[in-house]
Amino acid sequence: MLNRQQLFGKKSESIAAKFLKKQGYKILEQNYRNKLGEIDIIAKEKGTLVFIEVKARRSRQFGNPKWAITPKKKRKISMVALYYLKTTRQSRVKARFDVVAITSNQENPEIEIIKNAFELAYE
């Protein structure tokens, strides 16, 4: 059974996926996992493969959720993305990392897409 925080995370990822679809993204994977970790959403947008991290907060009390991605998290997402590209034989495809930041007040969440949010990080 999921706890309150996990339920909030799952709901936020669903909100992000619906929003991305409306923005023209084609969702390929949600909660993609491999031996190195997880990527929230993998999608295509205008011929580019997009690895998307969803960050959500219930309020802005601790700042905008988009600032919650640490260098360690960027490295982890990068390694998972590289593994995905290798195992799906897409190493030459154009790709980028986006962040979907959600501040949720239940009824009307504030959603922001940050395209090219960070570069590949593997050190």
Identify the CATH number of the domain in which residue 111 sits. Answer: 3.40.1350.10
Confidence check: pLDDT of 20 > 90: yes
Average pLDDT over every residue of 109-114: 92
Hey, what are 16's tokens? 């992000």
If 0-12 CB within 10 Å is exposed, 13-18 middle and 19+ buried, where does residue 62 land?
Answer: exposed
Q: For residue 123, is it within any domain? A: no
pLDDT, one tens digit per residue, over 35-86 is: 999 999 999 999 999 999 999 887 766 777 787 888 999 999 999 999 999 9
| Number of compact structural domains in the chain | 1
Q: What gap in Å lies between CA 57 and CA 62, rounded to an integer?
A: 9
Please check whether residue 111 lies inside any domain of the structure: yes
Task: Name the residue range of residue 17's domain.
Answer: 4-118
With a pLDDT cut of 90, the percent of the chain lying above it is 63
Neighbouring CB atoms inside 10 A of 77's CB total 25
